[in-house]
Amino acid sequence: MVVSLRLPSLTSLFSPSARRSPASFRQFYLRPPFSAGFTAQSKASSPAETDDRVASQKNRVNQDRVITPRSQDFNAWYLDVIANAELADYGPVRGTMVIRPYGYAIWEAIQDYLNVKFKETGHSNMYFPQFIPYSFIEKEASHVEGFSPELALVTVGGGKELEEKLVVRPTSETIVNHMFTQWIHSYRDLPLMINQWANVTRWEMRTKPFVRTLEFLWQEGHTAHATPEEAEKEAMQMIDIYTKFAYEQAAIPVIVGRKSKVETFAGADKTYTIEAMMGDRKALQAGTSHDLGQNFSRAFGTQFTDENGERQHVWQTSWAISTRFVGGIIMTHGDDNGLMLPPKLAPIQVIIVPIWKKADEKTGVLTAALSVKGVLQTAGLKVKLDDSDQRTPGWKFNFWEMKGVPLRIEIGPRDVSSGSVVISRRDVPGKEGKVFGISMEPSILEAYVKDKLDEIQSSLLGRATSFRDSNIVDVGSYSELKEAISLGKWARGPWSASDADELRVKEETGATIRCFPFDQPLGIKTCLMTGKPAEEVAIFAKSY
Amino acid sequence: MVVSLRLPSLTSLFSPSARRSPASFRQFYLRPPFSAGFTAQSKASSPAETDDRVASQKNRVNQDRVITPRSQDFNAWYLDVIANAELADYGPVRGTMVIRPYGYAIWEAIQDYLNVKFKETGHSNMYFPQFIPYSFIEKEASHVEGFSPELALVTVGGGKELEEKLVVRPTSETIVNHMFTQWIHSYRDLPLMINQWANVTRWEMRTKPFVRTLEFLWQEGHTAHATPEEAEKEAMQMIDIYTKFAYEQAAIPVIVGRKSKVETFAGADKTYTIEAMMGDRKALQAGTSHDLGQNFSRAFGTQFTDENGERQHVWQTSWAISTRFVGGIIMTHGDDNGLMLPPKLAPIQVIIVPIWKKADEKTGVLTAALSVKGVLQTAGLKVKLDDSDQRTPGWKFNFWEMKGVPLRIEIGPRDVSSGSVVISRRDVPGKEGKVFGISMEPSILEAYVKDKLDEIQSSLLGRATSFRDSNIVDVGSYSELKEAISLGKWARGPWSASDADELRVKEETGATIRCFPFDQPLGIKTCLMTGKPAEEVAIFAKSY
């Protein structure tokens, strides 16, 4: 069943709708450019807002906006959700994105969790300059090959043409190694384990908000070790932290594994990845951890004196998660009604909607609502009271559902009398997700709400896991693989064929090897392409 | 009395000094380039570390490093402290800086405090792209005049020459207004109050670590309001938050006031500032808050419909504090022994140094030290135990003093027997700052340490305040002003002269008006330059 959810424009949310002339409104104009594609150049020139005639003409446009049903057009749905939930907006430069407060708050929740984990595992935050001499990028052969098509270059500084053009960092391995050579001397300086939260720039041609933008925010960890074993252990530790984060915080049942050689990071020996299945069954690479071996240390001469007095090149790792992960959350959990946020990362976990009809009911209801808010806030929950009188309760229900708030508490005059509230779950629509008569008594209410939030967190993970598992097909031959991919599914099958074969699969089906999952089936395996013995199964899928 | 503090190189800290051949060391090479001046181009090309012969030659350089006494050469002292305390290092591009973990941790402490204050006062974090179309910068006349000499320009992206060159943000008022025009419609959308933590780029010619770098980190707040009164109130609120932060967290007794017209931010109606007196008595502008009036809203057409249905331009503010503040902390509190950090911003508040001579003493001492560490950590303090056996206790005392740790706890075999510790204050040198026999009993120890940290925090502020006050001279004439400035002091005197006169003072004395302080003396004032009536006193000083 496909239904369009009609929502008033976000503009009109903050405007009194009754007494105002149409000329006092302006259309948000968010949806048309988003639907027209993020890659389209948005106008950098100033809009003609200073001309009041133009403004008033624009104002006559219909206020209501529609979220395209997810089942109808996944991409349009995604862009509509981002616009309507005010997660992000276009920047003036093609492919750039403004992360709005509600979207940024999700990123902050991701940061808060990971930052603690990084420090617990012995990493220190620091900051490297974003301008990298062009010559640095050229030092590691596969690195320059991988990144040079995507570089933004600063050629003028302070009004003068620069002698050496500067790269705006696409990633920092090169400058990190340049500095490591100055800090690492003896084996006693190792391991050196650092992280930075930063912006990075990649001149992408096909962009999409959060998923692939010209500039994005991320963290990049960089470590140096005395032995290959330690570097490998570190790379594994970090992909493990990402995996736990995805499951436990984002409720995304990622598949963790090793990239094929073709898909390995430019400059790495091995790349580990967490791959998430989006609602349209495309894969999203949601985080990576690289065992860099000695590739960068040899290119930059990052050496240490070992316990025997011998000079050795260090063994390195790097690992990153970016604002792309926010896109992954949207596309994993969202539905036709909009966003659906996992409670642990939701900027607002509980929305309280007070309901009154007569003026004399208002005070009692608002007093009760404020008290409930206080109780939950004291309990450490992120709670908001929507007490505006510009909108009906029904409108607010839709609006906060669209914003993905996990729990809604409704309080009307009858609830005030009975000392109870009504609680609705975002993940269970309609009456089924609604429970009446939950006591306002603080300890009971707090326990109930926390319990429900945990239930929603688990439920989201469970649902996404079922969806994932029902969309992965075990294949034993190339024709089975092709069929699975053509049905939009992920194909899992034994693989020991060549890089050329892997590229052929990509050309013929659009699917790539997402990873060789760590979790491997037992038994003898035969390569689906060549019929020769295979050690591992690989997962193939179309991806973002 | 001028004494050079000799410290072993940081490299050798991590190296066993006894059994190692000189060829296994490498000189850090930090001090020479720092002293040679931050503006000098450091070598972007890869050092020849891959050549072992070169490395071993370098290794023969003397390991000991010296912190130039502060009284002897303030600038050399500053650079030595930054290098020795591992706060920052040069980036490969001229004028850029790598913020090392210990320096970054100070910035994180600043962020943690301010981020909470910003949110408490109703601001939301978000993120704007750093690439701004060049045409945006040109829209506000004084803004382009102020910033165009300092711009870094991206002219190539993805291998192609760009149609419109992009500015790497020097500040974000222009792009913020471009977006505000899309988000602000009615008076109900106001106030709009946001903040971003970001990197910014200004192509400075004379650079100095933390104080003035080509790229730096900051927060920039941007707000839009319906009335000039609200914008003014916001600008004042934010400079007030900065002032409280400086006094209460950084122990820096800033002078808060209004900038002269000449010194006002390019594009602002009014700039409020906090001015700090460094140890060399130069002024450091440590934070600013701008009442932008309608300058940017008129340039970008940022309008709203007011309660009467009329279109109006919004009234705006912006305000910022940057990593420059870290430089201010170093230069306010540091002494000949190195860094001295205010306890509230110190990454390590308490360093524990265990002392033993005989092997059989070690276990008891370390057990006690670990227990003390646990007690203080549980009490929420930032504490580190230096249990390395590579260094003598005396070496560790000097090292952690140089790193500015406010309190040191010493535990030897006798202390273990008596169940007590020795506590030394960083801010009171020698025996005077040392107290013996503080009980290890958790509640006593915790209370004592917390009390001492508070005392140090107050003492640092008190000392800096006395220093400041004894170096501000009230002047009534230009000749008195010139004399005060020539003595390296700040001059405070009534001022109502012209911009031309202000520039003349700068040319003739090197001093500028730092601010018209909010705190004004009573009584009739006569302009020190013209003899005409003056409404306010201004503070003149040489500055960074």
Fold of B472-541: Translation Initiation Factor IF3 (3.30.110)
Checking if the pLDDT of A155 tops 90, the result is yes
Q: Which of A86, A164, A311 to mutate to test the interface with B (most CBs of B within 10 A)?
A: A311
- Point out the residue among B93, B101, B188 whose CB comes nearest to the CB of A126: B101
Distance between B154 CA and the closest CA of chain A, angstroms: 4
Checking if the pLDDT of B494 tops 70, the result is yes
**pLDDT for residue A389:** 87
Q: What percent of chain A has pLDDT over 90?
A: 84
Q: Which two tokens stand for residue A420?
A: 């109870």
Fold of A343-467: Rossmann fold (3.40.50)
**pLDDT for residue A146:** 82
**What's this model's pTM, rounded to 2 decimal places?**
0.89
The residues, ordered by sequence, that sit 6+ positions from A186 with a Cβ below 8 Å of its Cβ are A304, A305, B11, B14, B15, B24, B25
Checking if the pLDDT of A34 tops 50, the result is no
CB atoms A154 and B150 under 8 Å? no
CB atoms B156 and A157 under 8 Å? no
Q: Which residues of B touch A175 (CB under 8 A)?
A: 91-92
- Residue A338 gets which letter from DSSP? B
CB atoms B127 and A165 under 8 Å? no
- Point out the residue among B101, B159, B181 whose CB comes nearest to the CB of A194: B101
**pLDDT for residue B368:** 97
Question: pLDDT tens digit string along A369-407?
Answer: 999 999 999 999 999 999 998 899 999 999 999 999 999
C-alpha–C-alpha distance, residues A76 and A257, integer Å: 31
Higher pLDDT pick, B1 / B295: B295
Q: Which residues of A touch B132 (CB under 8 A)?
A: 92-93
CB atoms B178 and A92 under 8 Å? yes
**pLDDT for residue B502:** 98
Q: What average pLDDT does this structure show over B499-503?
A: 98
Residue B158, CB-side half-sphere exposure with 13 Å CA sphere: 11
Q: Which residues of A touch B98 (CB under 8 A)?
A: 126-129, 179
C-alpha–C-alpha distance, residues B542 and B243, integer Å: 21
Question: pLDDT tens digit string along B171-224?
Answer: 999 999 999 999 999 999 999 999 999 999 999 999 999 999 999 999 999 999
Q: Which residues of A touch B28 (CB under 8 A)?
A: 182, 185
Largest CA distance in chain A: 85
CB atoms B158 and A205 under 8 Å? yes
Q: At the fourth CATH level, which superfamily is domain B103-129+169-333?
A: Bira Bifunctional Protein; Domain 2 (3.30.930.10)
Report the chain B residue with the minimal C-alpha distance to residue A214. B129
Checking if the pLDDT of B163 tops 90, the result is yes
**pLDDT for residue B144:** 82
**pLDDT for residue A147:** 84
CB atoms B129 and A178 under 8 Å? no
Q: What average pLDDT does this structure show over A289-294?
A: 98
**pLDDT for residue B310:** 98
Q: Residue B540 in contact with residue B511, Cβ under 8 Å? A: yes
Q: Which residues of A touch B216 (CB under 8 A)?
A: none
- Point out the residue among B89, B154, B303 whose CB comes nearest to the CB of A153: B154
C-alpha–C-alpha distance, residues B209 and B99, integer Å: 9
User: What CATH number should be reported for the domain whose range is A103-130+177-333?
Assistant: 3.30.930.10
Which of A36-45, A199-208, A224-233, A253-262 has the weakest average pLDDT?
A36-45
The residues, ordered by sequence, that sit 6+ positions from A490 with a Cβ below 8 Å of its Cβ are A277, A281, A283, A471, A472, A473, A484, A514, A539, A540, A541
C-alpha–C-alpha distance, residues A109 and A321, integer Å: 13
C-alpha–C-alpha distance, residues A81 and A100, integer Å: 13
Q: Residue A186's beta-bridge partner residues?
A: A305
CB atoms B52 and A186 under 8 Å? no
Q: Which of B106, B126, B138 to mutate to test the interface with A (most CBs of A within 10 A)?
A: B126
CATH 3.30.110.30 occupies which residues in chain B? Answer: 472-541
The residues, ordered by sequence, that sit 6+ positions from A148 with a Cβ below 8 Å of its Cβ are A137, B159
- Point out the residue among A136, A153, A215 whose CB comes nearest to the CB of B155: A153
CATH 3.40.50.800 occupies which residues in chain B? Answer: 345-466
How do B5-7 and B434-439 pair as beta strands?
unpaired
Mean pLDDT of chain A: 89
Q: Which of B28, B31, B50 to mutate to test the interface with A (most CBs of A within 10 A)?
A: B50
**pLDDT for residue B14:** 33
Measure the CA dihedral B309/B311/B312/B316, to 10°: 100
Report the chain A residue with the minimal C-alpha distance to residue B105. A125
Tell me which residue has tokens 């607010």.
A396
B35 confidence band (pLDDT: 50, 70, 90): very low
**pLDDT for residue A141:** 78
Question: pLDDT tens digit string along A56-96?
Answer: 333 333 345 689 999 999 999 999 999 999 999 999 999 99
B65 confidence band (pLDDT: 50, 70, 90): low
For residue B406, say if its preceding peptide bond is cis, omega within 30 degrees of 0: no
Q: Which residues of A touch B44 (CB under 8 A)?
A: 133, 135-136, 164
CATH 3.30.930.10 occupies which residues in chain A? Answer: 103-130+177-333
Higher pLDDT pick, A52 / A331: A331
CB atoms B152 and A152 under 8 Å? no
Which of B13-17, B381-385, B441-445, B499-503 has the weakest average pLDDT?
B13-17
Q: Which residues of B touch A30 (CB under 8 A)?
A: 182
**pLDDT for residue B27:** 31
Q: What average pLDDT does this structure show over B483-504?
A: 98
Which of A38-52, A497-511, B464-478 has the weakest average pLDDT?
A38-52
Mean pLDDT of chain B: 89
CB atoms B126 and A309 under 8 Å? no
C-alpha–C-alpha distance, residues A354 and B90, integer Å: 57
Distance between A516 CA and the closest CA of chain B, angstroms: 31
Which of A343-357, B6-20, B205-219 has the weakest average pLDDT?
B6-20
**pLDDT for residue B28:** 30
CB atoms A46 and B301 under 8 Å? yes
Q: Which residues of B touch A99 (CB under 8 A)?
A: 126-127
CB atoms B93 and A131 under 8 Å? yes
Cα–Cα distances in angstroms (integers) from residue A114 to residues A108, A238, A278, B64, in the given order: 10, 10, 22, 39
Question: pLDDT tens digit string along B102-149?
Answer: 999 999 999 999 999 999 999 999 999 999 999 999 888 787 888 888
Q: What average pLDDT does this structure show over A13-29?
A: 31
Question: pLDDT tens digit string along A322-339?
Answer: 999 999 999 999 999 999
**pLDDT for residue A65:** 61
B345-466 CATH, one of 3.40.47.10, 3.40.50.800, 3.40.50.300, 3.30.70.1560 = 3.40.50.800
